[in-house]
């Protein structure tokens, strides 16, 4: 079981599955919604339990196909979910304890910001 939360703790979650190796998305939408690169792991929707007793979780439809989950109180970016998808991306920074995973690739590097260099040797995909 992997547990996590937003910055203020109003939204908590549990993942009852092994975590896949995360990727780092450099697209403009991810950079704008998270403040930088959005590193996440894809988990089966049924393996994710969200505890939101304060009703703080908000969803933003960033396109017709994708919505993003964030805490309406502290603003923490938590989830990236394709509408009707079988998996949901969970922000790596939201986990409470070490995940035992390692970044395995960079995506949407054609949209990366001009203020950093990707030089970790991992595969890079333009889209």
Neighbour count for residue 69 (Cβ, 10 Å): 23
Q: What is the mean pLDDT of residues 90-97?
A: 97
Residue 50 in this model has a pLDDT that exceeds 90: yes
Residue 64: per-residue pLDDT: 93
Model confidence, pTM: 0.93
Q: What is the CATH number of domain 2-125?
A: 2.170.150.70
Domain ranges of the chain: 2-125
Beta strand spans in 9-125 (E)? 12-15, 23-25, 38-44, 48-51, 57-61, 66-71, 77-82, 87-91, 105-107, 124-125
CB–CB of 15/87 below 8 Å? no
Model confidence at 53, pLDDT cuts 50, 70, 90, reads confident
């Amino acid at each position: 079981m992997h547990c996590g939360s937003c910055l203020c703790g109003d939204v908590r979650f549990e993942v009852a599955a092994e975590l896949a190796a995360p990727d780092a998305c450099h697209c403009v939408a991810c950079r704008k919604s998270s403040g930088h690169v959005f590193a996440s792991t894809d988990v089966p929707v049924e393996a994710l339990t969200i505890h939101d007793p304060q009703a703080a979780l908000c969803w933003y439809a960033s396109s017709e196909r994708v919505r993003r989950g964030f805490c309406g109180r502290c603003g923490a970016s938590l989830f990236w979910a394709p509408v009707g998808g079988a998996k949901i991306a969970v922000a790596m920074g939201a986990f409470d304890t070490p995940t035992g995973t390692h970044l395995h690739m960079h995506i949407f590097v054609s949209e990366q910001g001009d203020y950093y260099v990707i030089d970790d040797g991992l595969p890079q995909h333009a889209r």
